[in-house]
Amino acid sequence: MSVEVKKNNTVRFSYKSAGPVSDVYLAASFNNWVPLRMRKQKNGEFSVSVQVPYGTHEYKFIVDDAWQMDTDNELQATNTFGSMNSVVVVD
C-alpha cells in the first residue's frame, strides 16, 4: 500500500512507477497543496514521511509534472475541478 499511518500522526506516502520517472512530489490538503519532494529509494520507489493532523485529507502525486491519484488507495473524493483526489484518514 502506498499510504502507511504510523505513530504520532506520521504518514508514509510512497509511489512506485512502472516506467522511468525523474521527479515525484506529494501535494495535499494538509499542506495547502504545496508540492513536497519525495525521495527516490534504492528499490526505485519514491517516498516521504510527513506528520499529518488528525482528520480526513486529500492528496495527489505530481509525477514529472503530471498530477496523479494514488492508484493503490481505494479511498477517493471528488475535487472542485471535477476530477478525483486520493484520501487518507488519520485518527
CATH architecture group of domain 3-90: Sandwich (2.60)
**Which sequence spans correspond to the domains of the chain?**
3-90
3-state secondary structure of 19: coil
Average pLDDT over residues 61-89: 95
- The whole-number pLDDT of residue 1 equals 45
Instruction: For the chain, state the CA radius of gyration.
Output: 12
Give the whole-number percent of the chain exceeding pLDDT 90.
81
Residue 14 bridge partners (DSSP): 47
d(CA 85, CA 78): 6
CB 57 within 8 A of CB 76: no
Q: Which amino acid is at 43?
A: N
Give the whole-number percent of the chain exceeding pLDDT 70.
99
List pLDDT tens digits, range 9-38.
899 999 998 889 999 999 999 999 999 999
Average pLDDT over residues 43-62: 95
The answer to whether the pTM exceeds 0.75 is: yes
* Residues whose CB falls within 8 Å of the CB of residue 35, separated by 6 or more in sequence, listed in order: 25, 26, 27, 62
- The whole-number pLDDT of residue 62 equals 97
